[in-house]
Amino acid sequence: MARNRLLMTTAALGAAYLLRNDKARKKLVNQLQSFTDKSRR
């Protein structure tokens, strides 16, 4: 139970950070797109 709460808190803090920080959000999106492009090959 405590572990689930810790994971949810971490995810919420990460989401809040990405919502506020445009540069970090764009970097993450680019990394995810690069990863999906590589996996399609």
Q: How far apart are CA 23 and CA 27, in angstroms?
A: 6
- At 39 the pLDDT is 79
Q: Where are the domains of the chain?
A: 2-40
Structure tokens at 16: 């809040």
HSE, side-chain direction, 13 A CA sphere, residue 31: 6
Q: What is the DSSP string of 1-41?
A: -HHHHHHHHHHHHHHHHHHH-HHHHHHHHHHHHHHHHHHH-
Q: CA torsion sign, 23 to 24 to 28 to 31? A: positive
| Averaged pLDDT in 10-residue chunks for the chain of 41 residues | 93 94 94 88 67
